[in-house]
Amino acid sequence: MQITKERVAAIHYTLTDNDGKILDSSAGKDPLYYLHGAHNLIPGMEEGLEGKVKGDKFDIKVSPEKGYGVRDEAAVQQVPMSAFGDNQVQVGMQFRAGNQGEFIVTVTEVSGEMVTVDGNHPLAGVELNFNVEVMEVREATNDEIMHGHAHGPGHSH
Ligand code: ZN
């Protein structure tokens, strides 16, 4: 059975950047279950997985445009330390921002009383190298199609 729309696939994956640094991996955990064609994964992953079958092992190279987007330098801002209240602000910390807390910014620099925050996704602008193994492919259930996601092991709402 091939991976295509309205099927659920389980994959093991390791994600590295172009320097070979491991950014994420499912090794040692349950495989990742996802509903194909429902934007559960970044577009470049769905394209690379389309048509694959259980047991396939392969690499997918994903450009930023089909991954987490290109970097937007306008999303990098300097904010006074006082804006963070009592928080001990450190590089790497993440905060919700925007009127509804709808996006996440990451602290990239603390210099005196000024804090630099970056609203880009941490993987924006990064070419992604996935090594993938397909563990299972099955038809999605009606519930999964209605919900727009897979109900894999450990899934909760
Ligand atoms: Zn659900």
Distance CA 2, CA 136 (A): 10
| Reported pTM | 0.81
Per-residue model confidence as pLDDT tens digits over 24-78: 999 999 999 999 999 999 999 999 999 999 999 999 999 999 999 999 999 999 9
Question: Cα of 81 to ligand 1 centre, how many Å?
Answer: 41
Distance CA 1, CA 21 (A): 33
Question: Cα of 155 to ligand 1 centre, how many Å?
Answer: 8
Q: pLDDT class for 157, splitting at 50, 70, 90?
A: confident
Question: Cα of 146 to ligand 1 centre, how many Å?
Answer: 8
Please give the angle made by the CA atoms of 99, 72 and 22, to the nearest 5 degrees. 105
Question: Cα of 52 to ligand 1 centre, how many Å?
Answer: 24
pLDDT score, position 57: 98
Dihedral sign from CA coordinates of 118, 72, 63, 51: positive
Distance CA 114, CA 2 (A): 52
Return the domain boundaries, the chain: 7-68+124-155, 73-118
Q: pLDDT class for 155, splitting at 50, 70, 90?
A: confident
Domain boundaries 7-68+124-155, corresponding CATH code:
3.10.50.40
* Surrounding residues of ion ligand 1, Cβ less than 5 A: 147
pLDDT score, position 103: 81
**How many CA within 13 A on the CB side of residue 75?**
19
Q: Which fold has domain 73-118?
A: Thrombin, subunit H (2.40.10)
> Structure tokens of 59?
């690499």
